[in-house]
Amino acid sequence: MCPEISSESSIARVVPAVPFLVVAPDGHAHLVGSRCTDCGAVMPGRRIACAACGTRGRLESIQLAESGRLCSYTVVHRSFPGVTTPFVAAIVNLDGGGTLKGTLTDVTPDPRSLPYDMPVEIVYRDSGQKAADGSAFLSYYFVPSRRGHKND
């Protein structure tokens, strides 16, 4: 179950923040992607063509991994009104393929303290923003891994 979304009334009022985030009726969330059956490339979201080799119509829908490694990041000090700064914008290479951009949380925004290739996990949280009907937007975030990692 999503940590910040615990009551049944809250689950019904959750809107995925991105189209490749799926929230099941029981409140469990996961990210979906596509894998090319020709070259094996993995991409977030449902696709009709492979971004790596250009093959069309030969992609299978998959659930993306919930862990990966920090590839790159930057500390953002200025953003849109209502967005708390500073925050860490990160690019993560997922275990099993695919790359995602998102926010790295539960860390100090001191660039010297974040090692590249750091193991991370995906968590799902209320973004703090609301849809026009008052529903909470659920988003994915990266956090430092708290358990053993596949490639360690």
* Predicted pLDDT of residue 82: 78
* Predicted pLDDT of residue 17: 94
* Predicted pLDDT of residue 7: 39
**Number of neighbours of residue 131 by Cβ within 10 angstroms:** 12
* Predicted pLDDT of residue 32: 98
Three-state DSSP at 77 gives: coil
Domain ranges of the chain: 8-144
Pull the structure tokens for residue 69.
């490694």
* Predicted pLDDT of residue 61: 97
List b or e across 57-85, with b for residues whose CB sees 16 or more CB atoms inside 10 angstroms: eebeebebbbbbbbbebeeeeeeeeeeee
Three-state DSSP at 48 gives: coil
* Predicted pLDDT of residue 150: 52
Q: Which of the residues in the chain have pLDDT under 50?
A: 1-11, 151-152
* Predicted pLDDT of residue 148: 54
